[in-house]
Structure 1
Amino acid sequence: MHTPTPRPARLATGEWLDRFLASDPGLTRLRTATQAVISVGLALLAEWIYVQTAHPLTVPAPTPGAETINRAAGVMMLMAGAMVGMISTFIGPMYATARQGIGALLVLPASLFAGIVIGLGLAPYGTIGLIAMVLVLGSTGFLRRFGANGFTIGQGLFMGDFLGMFLGRLTDLSGLGWIAGALAIGAAAAIFSYVTLFLPSRATAVQRLRRSFLRRADVVAATTVDLLDHPGSEALRKQQVNQLIRLNETALMIDAQLAESPRLPVGTTARELHRLVFTAELSLANAARFARAMTRLDVPAEALALARDPFLAIARRDAAGVEKAGERLAEWIHASSIEGDARVVLHRFVTSVSDFARVIHVLKNQRFEHSARPVTEEFLPAVTLAGGWLPGSSKVSATASEEGSHRGLHPSVRLGIQMTVAGVVAILVGAIVSQERFYWAVIAAFVTFMGANNAAEHVRKGVFRVIGTVIGVVLGAVLAHLVGQRPYVAIAVILVTLFVGMYMMRISYAFFTAALTILIAQLYVQLDEYSEQLLGLRLFETVVGAGAAVLTVIFVLPLRTGRVVRVATREVVEALSKLVGPAILRIRDSAYEVPLGAAARDLDASFQALAAATEPKRAMLRVPGSLGGVEQQWWYAANAAHSYARDLLVDSAHLEVIDGSGGDDVGEAGQVLIASMNELRRGLGEHATKRIYTRSASLFEHIATDLDDAGRLTPRQLTLRDLQLIDGSLAVLATAAGLEVRALDTPADPAV
């Protein structure tokens, strides 16, 4: 294999800015972080005015320690308002309509108040208060059964109970009126931020996501050029695969927003924009994948150099340049003597580049409407977003929970039991470390369960919480000494730190944990209770709480990731069969014209869920053993099957049907493949399966050999090749899943 002479890989200006913006589809992280800072900032300002004018929870000046008490009272009022503002940032995006979102932001302070009543009322009673805290903690899991409303109420109850125990050092139930006022002020700030910032930007979601899609396409192009320049780099190969997954993620996010978006490109319907984005993503992903395949084949250096040019044009957003570069490579292929797999890959590469050039010219030149329009078109997306993001492994984890060894156990029941047990352990061990600060352990256990769906995800989140706390302790100590008793500077540090933590949280939860630790350090400085020993104690309590959560999910009703991955893979295979079956019918019957785009998008959504479920095994911080799920071979086989299915979608769109005896042979081969896919799907649902996957690739190969276009790169020959490759990747997957794989001519075992 020859390595081409490297040329400048990236010609687009502002490449680093593009990469930065491409990492945040639809600027969702930026919007969330900005809303959080503004909500908290407004709440702090309003609470400061409240404290300065109403003097809540203060005591008369002659009272011993009045200055310290009154200072603490003011800080706690600010903390109550800030808590409402920060939690509301996570709550609002969970609801589809403005009315639902505002309603939830009113329910949040009410549930916080109820939790404060519990915590404040039981604070003097020691053990009873701790039992109540455990029960409230467990209830946050059980309340998940009621969806977003249950999550909102559970969050409010627990955080309110925690705040109530904290406030017990300053007041009793007689101070509830002042506390209610602080919560109302925080809720008003949160609703104002939600209405003025979040809701207006929701109308432009499709426009922002389309911009992110184009930027992610630029990044895919730049990385592919790098890979063609350095064909032996495994790191670049993995990087390109990950970026293609992100490109597919953005396309699905656009799909999810199309159903309710009041602003679309001028003269374009939701279905039309869906088709354009789908075609662009499919063709670019295929082109990038074929370029990656070239680096493993005996492709001449001249062809690799020509293959770079379309991606350089893509990075420049030059649709005409993309098409011309593809034509130059097509001319080279026609004049060359290259044969075999290399010729097939090059041919498919040129076809994909040509498809992308046609659609990207339209997509990038669209102009969006300036005013909102009524949403009248019925469009059914393949996926529903959760808080502005794809749902990850949440749905497949829920299915795995209900189908696992504890059948009939609703995920919320499992979670409620686990959180209760973890809360008990955190309190018992945390109290041994410190009887005054044990609640840090409880908080650590609580947040370890937030946003994680199975054992491996909980373990990773617990580890990241400890790592983030270590970083936060160091930075918090430095900033505490630099800021000192300067409240305005402290507020600025808190807001900046909060923004960074919220913005980076999707990249790593450690950033958010570090930000919280810095925030807590500033809080205790203002309470005049700060010390390095206090931050060290927080680290120990965090280890206790995270450890309690991790041990609980491992030993108490564990939902192991291996089980979740099998469920996710089963859904991928089921979605794949719904695409392969109609494609086979299309090969035999020209009258069969059922669009396969919807089936392909369903397959993409299932594949994204599988990608999320296998993330703990593939991530930089890997979780070993059964908690981590499966070996890499499993992921590679599923990824390959998904890719070959997308080839099938393109190749079967315009082909000459195979009729007569050849058509009958296609039908028989298709029946074998579909039957094997069904066996694989059933086997994935069984712990120790004895099912058999029967290979069908030889049947499709025999059909291709007997056709009059054998040896040529016609659409039907490529389609038959796709079916062979799909069968091969599924056979690897079946082996990894424990099925026996047989060729058609393999004799049955008489003992079976």
Structure 2
Amino acid sequence: MPTFRAPRTAWALAATFVDRLLAHDPALSRVKMGARVTLTILASILTLITIHLTFIPLPPISYALAIVLSIEGGVAVKDKTPADQLTTRMMGCAASLFCITLAATLEGYRLVADLTFLFVIFAASLARVFGPRGFAVGMFAFISYFIGAYLKPTLAELPLAALGPLFAVAFGHLIRRYLFVDDWRRDLVKSLRAIQRRVSNILSRLAQLSRSEALTDKDRLELRQMEEQLKDVVLMAEGLLPRNADGSMPTGDGPVTAVSMAIFDLHLAAESVIVQSLGALAPALLFDAVLRGDAASAKKIAEDPDTAGGDERTKQSVHALLWLHRASLALSEAANDRSFLQLMAFGGLPQAGMSIKPDFSWNNPLVRAAVQITIASGIAMIFGLLLSRERWFWAVLTAFLVFNNTRSRGDAALRAIQRSVGTLVGVAIGLGLATLLSGNMTATVMLAAACVFLAFYFLQVSYALLSFFVTIVLCLVYGLIGQLTYEVLLLRLEETVIGSVAGMFVAFVIFPSSTRSTVELALARWYDALGQVLDGVSGGESRYRLIELSNRLDEAYRDLTVAARPLGSAWSLVTRLGPIRQTLAVFLASSYWARILARDFSNTENRDDPKIRRAIDDARLALGKAAARGAECFSSKTPRHATAGANLAAPGEGVAHGADMVANLLNRLYPPAADKQKSQ
């Protein structure tokens, strides 16, 4: 009946949406981020409106400070414990009140006020030397002076202006402490469930492909994307596991070690299933049995003559699938072990709490960045003033934010372009929405709140989307207060472009940190991490130590992908791989086989096998040659299609094979033919 189809369709769409949401945000950390910022702004503004209507009129700066400090409190405060978070918020509030008072005091002395603004920018940027708390307090100080210089409060308005920061800090702390709590135990449980869910999705998809007996390029791309989603969840789960006081993983046979090893094995097994399935798919019935957790049926199907007597590639796929089944059961057992459940219920191991010694030397890139940010802000200030005497602050704000968390001149340029594009599109759409909703306050406020949530939900995904949604919010606010004009929006876009250009100019000209040098550093860390894995195998390190070294290698690869991103143009979004993506694929496959090497070495009985020693020596030799040439591989035009390998050795027998694959992949970075051509 039609009356029953619609609900089923709606439920299916909702389930698909939730699944995609959890695929990219398994612990809902991005949802919590957006919700914290949105609710803090709403609670602060509603409280101020109540005071305004009931007791005493409040100046506009009270509302402006409440909004911007609600944002900074939700984004910049990154302390682990509620007590530390409150301390950082209180220090930020004190810095905010000081900067507001300073801006109001110097308002009558424009040149002094502008020079002081540059000093505040330098101090706020330099505060990052003190770590996350310094970064947060610096952001509170900068944005507060910015608002003070923009809105020009009088000294008489300062006592009431202080209500904005105070309510933003109070509500921000309460919402994070009691409503959207950072609970590592709950997030870890969600991450473990997400791992199993991602593995089930991979198996379900492979079962469908096995029945269709066809594997297209689109299917291969989909499987690689599912593999990346699994990797994201695995890294999140590993990061949530409690650590020793020095930040290292616990040793011995404790519950944390057991869960860490189970995650590690399941990740490797799932990757192996995908790799082997790209060559030949196992029978669909075997996928179904593994999905059900039916070990007896899985074993019976694997031992069936039609399956066991198949070609070598099919047998490798079957072997990988059985390994995945065992690894999945092992993770469930480790996560439900009584000792681990007790740890989750009653406490965790001490967290890393090493103090950071400030480094104000010129060798510290944060010090150089502080100088760059100040110079870029000064340039933006000059040209912004030439364009507008009232709204030049937008140019300075853009120049400051262009450098926020960037690693190189290429990264800064990418952020500047994203901010300009996001602002341009946001102005176009925001103008239309504000015009459409003109006079409808309820709809405008609801849409503005939704855009605030989306802006900070996408904060860690796309800077362009952040700028886009924030610009729409500004358009809606201008519409509410009756200042929405085409000229104002065009001026905002122009000032944004000025700030972006100033930021890019300084990034490329003043103490430039080239993308190439940043990639060199990231690649050196990856080579060092791989060398530690090989040293650990050669030295006969324990299983948990090899797993820890392998996880560090995975993290180094992630850092490398971020550092190399500005070298290409949206390489992660295209289906036809470019040279940057192809090169990264070599490092991804090398990381994969290094983990196979570490896992199998701990299971092998004959660790002194000459084949193993020879393979490790070859891998060391290839590593040395590749490391000596640094990031040259990213500029080489030699094709280097990488694969994780065609054959999967049985556990305990793949040490030499894993080392051989690492050597072969590294040698692909600089093929002998390419070296010969280069020397000619």
Give the TM-score range, shorter chain.
Answer: 0.7 to 0.9
Q: Within the alignment, does 1:555 sit opposite 2:509 as a pair?
A: yes
**C-alpha distance after superposition, 1:277-319 (max 9, x if no partner):** 2222221122122223x1xxxx4xxxx361x5555667xx532
Q: State the one-letter code of the partner of 1:652.
A: F
Query: How many percent of aligned residue pairs carry the same amino acid?
Result: 19
User: 1:456·1:623 contact (CA, 8 Å) conserved in 2?
Assistant: no
- Kindly report which structure 2 residues correspond to 1:214-613, keeping only aligned pairs within 5 A, or say none: 214-221=196-203, 224=206, 233-259=216-242, 269-292=255-278, 294=279, 299=280, 304=281, 306=283, 308=284, 318-320=292-294, 324-325=297-298, 328-329=301-302, 331=304, 335-336=308-309, 338-339=311-312, 342=313, 345-346=316-317, 348-359=319-330, 361-362=332-333, 373-375=345-347, 377=349, 409-485=363-439, 487-584=441-538, 596-613=546-563
User: Are the counterparts in 2 of residues 91 and 105 from structure 1 also a CA contact under 8 Å?
Assistant: no
Check conservation: 2:293, 2:325, Cα contact below 8 A. Answer: no
Corresponding letter in the other structure for 2:120:
V
- The answer on whether the counterparts of 1:216 and 1:243 sit within 8 Å (CA) in structure 2 is yes
Contact 1:441–1:541 at 8 Å: present in 2 too? yes
CA contact 2:590–2:666 (8 Å) conserved in 1? yes
Name the amino acid aligned to 2:102.
I
Task: Mark the runs of 5 or more structure 2 residues left unpaired by the alignment.
Answer: 1-11, 245-252, 635-646
- Which is further off, 479-488 or 186-195? 479-488
Alpha-carbon distance in structure 1 between the residues aligned to 2:472 and 2:203: 39
Q: Deviations over 1:593-650 (max 9, x none)?
A: 77522222222222222232233446637899xxxx9733421211111111122234
Listed one character per residue, the Cα deviations across residues 43-69 of structure 1 (whole Å, up to 9, x for unaligned) are: 011111222234345xxxxxxxxxxxx
Residue 537 of structure 1, CA deviation: 1.7
Q: Distance in 2 between matches of 1:623 and 1:739?
A: 31
Alpha-carbon distance between aligned partners in 1 of 2:614 and 2:343, rounded to the nearest angstrom:
54
Q: In the alignment, residue 179 of structure 1 is paired with which amino acid?
A: A
* Alpha-carbon distance in structure 2 between the residues aligned to 1:230 and 1:106: 62
Secondary structure at 1:577 match in 2: helix
Q: State whether residues 571 and 581 of structure 2, in contact with CA within 8 Å, keep that contact through their aligned partners in structure 1.
A: no
Q: What do the CA deviations read for 1:424-463 (whole angstroms, capped 9, x no partner)? A: 2212222233232111111122222223222232222222
When normalised by structure 2's length, the TM-score is 0.83
For the residues of structure 1 that align with 2:302 and 2:225, how far apart are their CA atoms?
Answer: 27
Matched to 2:656, the amino acid is: L
SS at match of 1:156: helix
Given candidates 117, 130, 138, the residue that maps to 2:122 is 138
Q: Contact 1:484 / 1:525 at 8 angstroms: preserved in 2?
A: yes
Given the superposition, is the C-alpha separation of residues 541 and 44 from structure 1 closer, same or farther in structure 2, using an over 3 Å criterion?
same
Q: Deviations over 1:152-211 (max 9, x none)?
A: 12111111111101221xx42232111113321222222221221233645522122223
Amino acid at match of 2:594: A
Change in 2 beyond 3 A, CA 1:464/1:205 = same
How many matched pairs? 641
User: Per the alignment, in what secondary structure is the counterpart of residue 652 of structure 1?
Assistant: helix
**Kindly tell me: are residues 89 and 677 of structure 1, through their superposed partners in 2, closer, same or farther at Cα, counting changes over 3 Å?**
same
What's 2:166 paired with?
Answer: 184
Q: What root-mean-square deviation, in Å, do the aligned CA atoms of Structure 1 and Structure 2 show?
A: 4.0
Q: Distance in 2 between matches of 1:714 and 1:621?
A: 35
User: 1:35: Cα distance to partner?
Assistant: 1.0
Distance in structure 2 (CA, Å) of the matches to 1:124 and 1:425 = 22
Taking a change above 3 Å as real, the CA distance of residues 597 and 449 of structure 1, as seen in their structure-2 partners, is: same
The CA distance in 2 between the partners of 1:471 and 1:605, in whole Å, is: 35
Asked whether the 8 Å contact 1:575–1:599 carries over to 2, the reply is yes
Q: Secondary structure at the match of 1:199?
A: coil
Distance 1:735 1:547, change over 3 A: farther
Aligned CA distance change for structure 1 residues 259 and 656 (closer, same or farther; 3 Å): closer
The whole-number CA distance in structure 2 between the counterparts of 1:687 and 1:719 is 27
Over 3 Å counting, the alpha-carbon distance change for 1:318 and 1:120 in structure 2 is: farther
Supply the AA of the counterpart residue of 1:285.
E
Which SS does the other structure have where 2:347 is aligned? coil
CA shift at 1:563, angstroms?
2.2
CA distance in 1, matches of 2:266, 2:526: 22
Deviations 1:634-668 (A, max 9, x none): 21211111111122234334334165xxx456435
Measure the CA separation in 2 of the matches of 1:640 and 1:184. 51
Q: How far did residue 535 of structure 1 move? A: 1.3
> Alpha carbons of 1:158 and 1:258: their partners in 2 closer, same or farther (altered >3 Å)?
same
Q: Are 2:129 and 1:193 aligned?
A: no
Deviates more, 1:535-544 or 1:221-230: 221-230
* 8 Å Cα contact 2:379/2:502 also seen in 1: yes
Aligned equivalent of 2:581: 632
Kept after mapping to 2: 8 A contact 1:107/1:152: no
Q: Is the contact between residue 633 and residue 669 of structure 2 (CA under 8 Å) also seen in structure 1?
A: no
